[in-house]
Amino acid sequence: MVLGAILVVAAILRLEGIGAHLSDAEGYSYLVGSAPSASAFLRRLAAYENTPPLFYLLLTPLPLGHTAWLRMPAAIPGALIPLALYAALRRPLGAPTALLAAAMTAVAPFAVSYSDYSRGFMLENLACVLALWAMLRLAGGASARWWWLYVSTGVVAVYSEYLAVIFLVALTIATVASGKRDRLRTAALGLLPLLALLPWAGQFERGQDAVNHTKLSPTFAGPSVSSLRDVTVRLVLGEHGAGATPGLRSLEFVAVLAVLAAIVVILRRSAQPRTNAALIVGATGVLVLVGHVLAALFVTDIFNERYLTVLIPIGAALLAAAISRANRRWLWRLAVVAVAIIGVAVFVQRFGRQYQPDLAPVRTVVAALHPRRVLTNSAVVAYYLRRLPVVLDRPFGLGPGLQRSCPSSCVIVDDSRVPGGVRQATGPSKTIGPFDVRLLLPTANRAAAGSARRQGARRRVGEGEEHRRGGIPTTAVVWTHAHLRIRARGRNAF
C-alpha cells in the first residue's frame, strides 16, 4: 500500500508538467519521431541528433499532435524508476530502506523535471536501475537467469543514451571488486551489452559526419570545482531549486558534501552483512562520476547534470541505507517529513508553470499571411507550425539558409536564442518574444525596398505619418501581390 502511494505521487508529479511548452531540443525529438519512413528516420537522426535511436523509435507509433505524447516515453519510465529501485533494494537492504529510497526518488526535483523532457534520459535511468537490480541479485548468489535481465536492460540503456556505457562499466567494476567468485564471468557478461552497439557503428559514423553541417556537438563546462558544485546542487535540488548566486550554491554544495560524509561514516561503521550491497551501489556511483569526468577530459565535452541523472536513485539508495543503519527513530521521522514537504513543494512549484515562450501568437501571425513556405531555425517552431508549409533551415545557425531561393509569399520565423540568432533578410518584420517573424520580399523587389529604406527620412512628413502595427510598417514601399493579399485579409496580423 505504501509502495502504491509512492507510485501515485511519482505519477502525479510527472503528469503535472507534461503538457508544458516544448524546449528547442524536444523539437528535434519530434522531427525524428515523426519521420515518414525508416530511411527518413535514420537520415534525420544522423542529421540532428547525437544520441541512439531507441527513444525516438518509441515516438514513431504515437500521435504527436500534443506535447504530452512527445513526453510519454520519458514520463512513464520516470514514474517507474521508484518501483524498479524498490525491487532492486528490497532483498539486499530491506523493505523499509527500499521504500524510503523509492519515495526519495519519486519526489526528487531534477528527476521529476526530466521526466517531462522528451529525451532518453529517464528511459536510460530505468534500464540502469533494472540492471542494478539484476547485478545485486547475482552478487547475492541468485540464479544465472538474472543475467538475461542484466544484458537486456543493459542493451536498452546503451541504445537510449551512449553514456550509459559508463554506468555499466562502473557497475561491473564495483561488482567484481566486491565479489569473491566468478569474477571473470561477471566481468565478461557485465560488459556484454556494450557489444550491442557494434551494428550501430555505421550510423554513428554517419551522425558524426553531420557535426558542424546540420548539428553541433553538445559542449558544457569542463570538470572543475565550480562545475562539480553546480552539477551536484542541481541534481539534488533541481534546476530551479539551486541557488542563484555562486555563494549560495557553494553553501548548498557544502551541505550536500556533509550529508555524503555522514553516509560514508554510518555505512562504514555498520557490520551487517547487507553492507556489501550498499558498497556495490556506492562504488558504482563514485565510478560513474569519475567516468564522466574522464570522458569529459579525454573523449567528449560533456559534463552536465542531465547525463548524471542515474546518480539520483543511487544517492537515494545510499541515504536510505544510512538512515536505516543509524537506527534512530527520529531520523526516520525526519526523512518521511522531508520527503512529504519536498513532494508538496515540487508540485506547487510546477503547477501551471511555463518555462518556455508560447508560440500561439507566432502561429496566428504566420497563418494570417498565408505563406507558401515558412523557414525557421528552430525545431520547436517547426513543431508548433507543423500544419503550415514549414522547413527547418539553418539549424544551430549552420549554413547560408534558403531565403535566397524562397518563393514569393515566404515567411521567416527565427528564434533569437538559437546559435546564429536571427538571420539577415529584407522585409517587414515583427518581434514576438524571442521570435522574429519576417515577410521575405520577392527577389525583384528587394533592391527597391533597400533603396526606399535609405530614403525613408525624406519620405516622412512626421513621425506620425508612418504608423506601425506591432513593429512592421504599414506603409511598405513596394507592395507585391502577396503584400496586397496581406492588406486585404490579414492587415491586423502585424
Residue where a domain stops, chosen among 281, 316, 350: 350
- Does residue 105 sit in the same domain as residue 219? yes
pLDDT of 296 reads 85
pLDDT of 290 reads 94
User: Dihedral (C-alpha) 430, 436, 442, 445: value to the nearest 10 degrees?
Assistant: 60
Provide the whole-model pTM: 0.87
Q: What is the residue-wise DSSP string for 209-243?
A: HTBTTTB-----PPS-HHHHHHHHHHHHH-TTTS-
Residue where a domain stops, chosen among 350, 370, 398: 350
For residue 464, what is its C-alpha cell? Answer: 506620425
Q: What is the residue-wise DSSP string for 124-175?
A: HHHHHHHHHHHHHHHHTT--TTHHHHHHHHHHHHHTT-TTHHHHHHHHHHHH
pLDDT of 140 reads 87
pLDDT in tens, the chain (494 residues): 899 999 999 999 999 889 999 988 899 999 999 999 999 999 999 999 999 999 999 999 999 989 999 999 999 999 999 999 999 999 999 999 999 999 999 999 999 999 999 999 999 999 999 999 999 999 988 899 999 999 999 999 999 999 999 999 999 999 999 876 788 999 999 999 999 999 999 999 999 999 888 888 777 777 888 889 989 999 998 876 666 788 888 899 999 999 999 999 998 887 565 568 899 999 999 999 999 999 888 776 678 888 999 999 999 999 999 999 888 889 999 999 999 999 999 999 888 888 899 999 999 999 999 999 999 999 999 999 999 999 999 888 888 888 888 877 899 999 999 988 999 888 889 999 999 999 987 654 444 344 444 444 444 333 333 333 333 333 233 233 434 344 344 444 55
Q: What is the C-alpha radius of gyration for the chain, rounded to an integer number of angstroms?
A: 27
- Does residue 190 sit in the same domain as residue 313? yes
- Spell out a b/e string for 130-150, using b for 16 or more CB atoms within 10 Å of the CB, else e: bbbbbbbbbbeeeeeebbebb
- Does residue 69 sit in the same domain as residue 174? yes
- Spell out a b/e string for 293-330, using b for 16 or more CB atoms within 10 Å of the CB, else e: bebbeeebebbbbbbbbbbbbbbbbbbbbbbbbbeeee
Domain of residue 133 covers 2-350
Residue where a domain stops, chosen among 298, 315, 350: 350
CB 24 within 8 A of CB 216: no
Residue 416 belongs to a domain: yes
Closest among 341, 323, 331, 339 to 97, alpha carbons compared = 323
- Does residue 438 sit in the same domain as residue 388? yes
- Spell out a b/e string for 112-129, using b for 16 or more CB atoms within 10 Å of the CB, else e: bbbbbbbbbbbbbbbbbb
Residue 40 belongs to a domain: yes
- Does residue 346 sit in the same domain as residue 371? no
- Does residue 142 sit in the same domain as residue 273? yes
- Does residue 294 sit in the same domain as residue 422? no
In sequence order, what are the residues at sequence separation of 6 or more whose Cβ sits closer than 8 angstroms to the Cβ of residue 199? none
Residue 355 belongs to a domain: no
- Does residue 14 sit in the same domain as residue 117? yes
Look up cell 550529508; give the residue.
Answer: 259
- Does residue 106 sit in the same domain as residue 255? yes
Closest among 307, 309, 308, 319 to 282, alpha carbons compared = 319
- Rounded CA gap, 493 and 70, in Å? 30
CB 114 within 8 A of CB 309: yes
Instruction: Assign 421 to helix, strand or coil.
Output: coil
For residue 482, what is its C-alpha cell? Answer: 502577396
- Does residue 385 sit in the same domain as residue 302? no
CB 171 within 8 A of CB 132: yes
- Does residue 405 sit in the same domain as residue 346? no
Residue 419 belongs to a domain: yes
Share above pLDDT 90 across residues of the chain, in percent, rounded to a whole number: 63
Residue 255 belongs to a domain: yes
The tally of domains found in the chain comes to: 2
pLDDT of 397 reads 85
- Rounded CA gap, 154 and 152, in Å? 5
Report the amino acid identity of residue 32.
Answer: V
- Does residue 320 sit in the same domain as residue 413? no
